[in-house]
Amino acid sequence: MLMSRWTFLPVLAVLCGGISNAAPVSTDMTISGPQGALAGTFLSSGDHAPIVLMIPGSGPTDRDGNSATGMRPATLRLLAEGLANRGISSVRIDKRGMFGSQAAIPDANKVTISDYVDDVRNWVGAIRKKTGVRCVWVLGHSEGGLVALAAAQKPDGICGLLLLSTAAVSMDRLIGWQLHRNPANAPLLPQADIALARLKAGEHFDDSGLAVPLRPLFSKEIQGYLIDVMHYDPVKLASKISLPVLIVQGGRDVQVFPRNAEMLKAVCPKAEVLMVPQMTHVLKTTPGSAPQDMLRTYTDASLPLSPEIVPSVAQFVLRH
């Protein structure tokens, strides 16, 4: 990791505005979606507080950062609560077709990044109307960072971006990296590489001929979404951003490798980078890199976020 080349935030700097003395107030919030409501949780830290819109990562991940697949780190809920105690409000949302936003469309797999971008812009507009703030910060975790970058191509109403564990490469390259880095996947790689190439070329295919472990990854139900998302290049999107940007990356992230932060920073030189060497993809610190150590950060909501995260994100927002 070439950390000396990056701009780092002071971890425990004194925050403008300090710690909030008012008790945060949590309320449900809904806005109109394509066919039904989009839902989220508004955690208010008081009038005139800056507001962060939080976008979850890929797959069936809810507004708290928990997944229907059994991963329950509560990353976004913990972050929202920590920021609220430092004078920053937030709205964390369920993606269209999922969880509280299930009524928005009949099939949550029939979406595109452009659809998610439309939803982000509608949330930004609704939050500004509800609270009177001039602009809203957009925070994306993992794939949510790609959505944030795409939404900020039209920056009206957006204060800046908070990119947490966000990839700098297209989805086909990211999935390929993830598969190839694990020696145990060696027997699956020829089929996986062919599947990725076909999707990148815009081709749907029958997933029944794939090895069983690969079928959930390349299921025919999600091939349309994968084809769409693979055409987005995060580096190209980031190179067009002139808003304030904070890039947060963990040194023990095995989903989005640390080099991704360097790649985003290279095309967005005014961005600030927070690298936390022992932090995993879900913003929690692990003392070791053994599989059981890593897994616990994904499954144990009682584990706190890495101690650097909330102070540094809050400082960045309040300073701008």
Give the pLDDT confidence of 60-117 residue by residue, as tens digits: 999 999 999 999 999 999 999 999 999 999 999 999 999 999 999 999 999 999 999 9
What residue has token string 């650097």? 308
Domain ranges, ordered by start, for the chain: 3-169+232-319, 174-223
Give the per-residue pLDDT at 7: 29
Q: How confident is the model at residue 16 (pLDDT cuts 50, 70, 90)?
A: very low
- d(CA 250, CA 253) in angstroms, rounded, equals 5
- What are the C-alpha distances in Å from 218 to residues 15, 145, 290? 45, 22, 28
For residue 5, pLDDT beyond 90: no
Give the per-residue pLDDT at 157: 98
Q: Write b or e for each residue in 168-204: b if 16 or more Cβ atoms lie within 10 A of its Cβ, otherwise e.
A: bbbbbebbbbbbeeeeeeeebeeebeebbeebbeeee
Outline where the chain has alpha helix (H): 75-84, 113-131, 143-151, 171-180, 189-200, 223-229, 234-238, 259-267, 291-299, 309-319
For residue 11, pLDDT beyond 50: no
Q: How confident is the model at residue 12 (pLDDT cuts 50, 70, 90)?
A: very low
Q: How confident is the model at residue 9 (pLDDT cuts 50, 70, 90)?
A: very low
- d(CA 117, CA 168) in angstroms, rounded, equals 18
- d(CA 48, CA 37) in angstroms, rounded, equals 26
- Which of 102, 97, 92 lies closest to 112, judged by CA? 97
- 3-169+232-319 classified as CATH 3.10.50.40: no
Average pLDDT value for residue range 148-168: 98
- What are the C-alpha distances in Å from 1 to residues 5, 206, 282? 9, 40, 19
Structure tokens at 185: 């996947």
For residue 3, pLDDT beyond 60: no
